[in-house]
Amino acid sequence: MDKPILSKQAFWDVDMNSIDFEKHAVHVVEKVIERGKAEDFDSLLKFYGFKKVGELAQQAHWLSDISINFCCTLFKVKPTDFKCYEKKQLNQLHWSF
């Protein structure tokens, strides 16, 4: 299948032609969820499929709490299903303001 058409908004720091969308799928999904446009997310759903995007999102190394909640609602999963959520819980800040 052809590469998804993504805006430079999420990938401003990367050469779009050098991205391996299979090898770096988790990173691509993570960047689009965090920084991409709605059209970018739609392109990912068409390229990878709904189920695979959900699985890749759960493997992301870092997502904001808002993004995790968005994915939980969309993919019908729990926050604890996300690798990055578990990692956040282990790294509590010392000072809570």
Give the helix ranges, DSSP H, for the chain.
25-35, 38-48, 50-58, 65-75, 83-90
Instruction: Say what the pLDDT of residue 93 is.
Output: 64
pLDDT in tens, 72-94: 999 999 999 999 887 666 566 66
pLDDT in tens, 13-68: 888 889 999 999 999 999 999 999 999 999 999 999 999 999 999 999 999 999 99
Instruction: Say what the pLDDT of residue 2 is.
Output: 82
Instruction: Say what the pLDDT of residue 54 is.
Output: 97
Instruction: Say what the pLDDT of residue 74 is.
Output: 97
Calpha distance 7→91 (Å, rounded)? 33
Instruction: Say what the pLDDT of residue 16 is.
Output: 87
Band of the pLDDT at 3, cuts 50, 70, 90?
confident
Sequence ranges of the domains in the chain = 16-90
